[in-house]
């Protein structure tokens, strides 16, 4: 049983060497069947862009609440802009997570805006570079995620480009998160309670400060630690559902640090790769057999997303 998550190299998949590609595909499949997490090197996100993004998100979260609050919106509009401290909670938990965050969403031309009707990305006037670096990061992680989904498609014995039509123009979200210093004993609240992600896959840039933990097959919590310049990529509930749980959406959490580190902020930047809302999450036929009967009702990605946003408290019924 692995004590940490497996590390893979995207260059193996980008290679013209069929054996390297095949090994990458099988390694992705094995990781996502066994623990639902892996770390990836040689992705499309440059280190200088990562450093620039962290610098700018700190500048944003350091702004007064009176300024940040003007970028906070209700309902589906809340899929863009700012979400204030303690507003979101894990499914089935009433205590709000000890975090505030921002949402960058898909970048569309005028014609696609009419087609998909996503909320607009608000422009932060107070931190001008925040908007530019957000878009650069979004595009780099979206591209990385697309290649990982191509490897997943091959592992599932689908056409390599099976997911392309669903995730190009998908309702993906880049979420810079700020976990502020903990100033008093938390009342049964943690920085992010145990949860599964809603989407197809999540790409997580190296978080500043330990805390991310994953539940393995034995039910043990293990630290999810990526190497320098690696990103962590995990399966979300949509993909787990689509594959009839062949690929695992693993429960994970962000725990509070030891008390001596309570005075420090923690920053984390996940990219939630979502499909277009019309994608049918009907279980794949080749993931159903006599030993693995169909586990889930048919539903669209949009309806599943709305249901889950209500469950976690960011949308009202």
Q: Where are the domains of the chain?
A: 7-311
Q: Which residues contact 69 (CB under 8 A, 6 or more apart)?
A: 82, 84
Which of the pair, 107 or 259, is modelled with greater confidence? Answer: 107
In the structure, what pLDDT confidence band is assigned to residue 79 with cuts at 50, 70 and 90? confident
Q: Name the helix (H) or strand (E) containing 253.
A: strand 252-254
3-state SS class at 202? strand
In this model, does residue 306 exceed pLDDT 70?
yes
Q: Domain 7-311: which CATH class?
A: mainly beta
> For residue 196, which of 240, 255, 252, 256 has the smallest C-alpha distance?
252
Residue 13: closest CA among 139, 135, 165, 143: 143
**What is the arithmetic mean of pLDDT over 159-176?**
96
* Mean pLDDT confidence for 134-159: 98
* Distance (Å) of CA 51 to CA 45, 55, 207, 255, 268: 11, 6, 12, 24, 12
Poorest-pLDDT segment among 30-44, 70-84, 122-136, 288-302: 70-84
Rounded CA-CA distance 73/54 in Å is 23
Q: How far is CA 155 from CA 26, 139, 229, in A?
A: 6, 25, 26
Q: Which residues contact 187 (CB under 8 A, 6 or more apart)?
A: 95
Of residues 163 and 263, the one with the higher pLDDT is 163
Tell me, what's the pLDDT at 179?
84
Is residue 185's pLDDT more than 50?
A: yes
Q: What is the mean pLDDT of the chain?
A: 87
Q: Which residues face 212 on adjacent strands?
A: 254
Tell me which of 234 and 255 has the higher pLDDT.
234
Measured between alpha carbons, how far is 135 from 125 in angstroms, rounded to an integer?
Answer: 15
Q: Which of 74-83, 91-100, 174-183, 299-308 has the highest mean pLDDT?
A: 299-308
Closest to 28 (Cα-Cα) out of 207, 248, 237, 230:
248
- Find the range with the poorest average confidence among 40-44, 98-102, 183-187: 183-187
pLDDT of residue 181: 81
Q: CB–CB of 196/236 below 8 Å?
A: yes
Section 193-222 average pLDDT: 77
- Mean pLDDT, range 82-98, rounded to an integer: 65
Identify which has the larger pLDDT, 16 or 229.
16
Q: Is the pTM of this model over 0.85?
A: yes
> Which residue has 């210093």 as its token pair?
181
Nearest Cα to Cα of residue 138 among 102, 163, 165, 88: 102
């Amino acid at each position: 049983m692995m004590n940490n998550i497996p590390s893979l190299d995207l260059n193996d998949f980008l290679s013209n060497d069929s054996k390297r590609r095949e090994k990458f595909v099988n390694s992705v499949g094995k990781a996502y069947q066994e623990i639902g997490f892996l770390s990836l090197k040689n992705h499309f996100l440059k280190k200088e862009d990562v450093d620039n993004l962290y610098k700018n998100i700190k500048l944003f979260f350091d702004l007064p609440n009176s300024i940040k609050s003007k970028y906070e919106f209700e309902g589906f509009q809340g899929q863009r802009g700012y979400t204030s401290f303690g507003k979101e909670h894990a499914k089935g938990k009433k205590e709000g997570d000890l975090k505030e965050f921002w949402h960058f969403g898909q970048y569309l031309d005028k014609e696609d805006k009419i087609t998909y009707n996503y909320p607009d990305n608000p422009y932060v006037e107070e931190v001008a570079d925040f908007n530019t670096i957000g878009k650069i990061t979004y595009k780099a992680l979206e591209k990385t995620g697309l290649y990982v989904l191509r490897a997943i498609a091959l592992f599932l014995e689908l056409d390599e480009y099976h997911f392309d039509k669903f995730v190009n123009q998908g309702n993906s979200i880049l979420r810079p998160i700020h976990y502020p210093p903990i100033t008093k004993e938390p009342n049964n609240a943690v920085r992010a309670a145990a949860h599964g992600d809603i989407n197809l896959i999540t790409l997580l840039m190296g978080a500043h400060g330990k805390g991310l933990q994953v539940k393995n097959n034995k039910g043990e919590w293990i630290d999810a630690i990526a190497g320098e310049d690696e990103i962590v990529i995990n399966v979300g509930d949509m993909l787990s559902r689509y594959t009839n749980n062949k690929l695992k959406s693993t429960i994970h959490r962000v725990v509070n640090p030891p008390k001596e580190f309570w005075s420090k902020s923690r920053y984390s930047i996940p990219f939630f790769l979502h499909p277009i809302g019309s994608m049918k999450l009907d279980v794949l036929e080749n993931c159903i057999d006599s030993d693995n009967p169909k586990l889930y009702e048919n539903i669209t990605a949009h309806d599943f997303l709305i249901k889950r946003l209500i469950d976690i408290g960011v949308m009202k019924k």
